[in-house]
Amino acid sequence: MPDALAQAPPADPAIERRTVETVMLDYFEAFSRGDMAAAMTFMNVPLMSPTAHGFAAYTTSTDALAAYTKIRDDLGRHGYAKSEWIDLRVKLLGPAYAIAGGVYVRYKADGSELGRSGGTYLLNKVDGVWKIAVVTRYPPGDVPKLD
């Protein structure tokens, strides 16, 4: 039986890459302003996300929202105000998957830097909409090069 995703008509790769970039920017914007309900609209469930001891799999939207609200609240206690990509790259992995990542900076309300991190996100197309399915974070020097 042929794979329906592999048989999908090709989309314009430049438009798809820009769309994934927009998802990543809009997700960061929603997270930054603390609108976790809006941030969750960019997530696919089940969602894999890093923890101190590996990955957690959130199988419901309620669980994912609770986890990301806790993360955002914890950052807020350290003065967090916003996250901003300083190097975001996107690579399409066929018609229904993409990898996005690079280096981002977290800022405090006074504009000072709270920290830098590398991040890689795997996205999949759900009903024609790009959604984040897997999140990783690591030191900024370890960011893989995406062509």
pLDDT of residue 68: 95
d(CA 79, CA 6): 45
Facing residues of 118 across strands?
A: 103, 138
Q: Could you tell me if 43 and 63 are in contact, meaning their C-beta atoms sit under 8 angstroms apart?
A: no
Number of residues that this document lists for the chain:
147
Strand 97-108 and strand 80-92: the pairing is antiparallel
Closest CA to 47 of 31, 30, 37, 59: 59
Average pLDDT of adjacent 10-residue blocks, the chain of 147 residues: 53 94 98 97 95 91 96 96 96 96 96 96 96 96 86
Say what the pTM is. 0.89
Domains within the chain, CATH numbers bracketed: 13-142 (3.10.450.50)
pLDDT of residue 1: 47
pLDDT of residue 145: 85
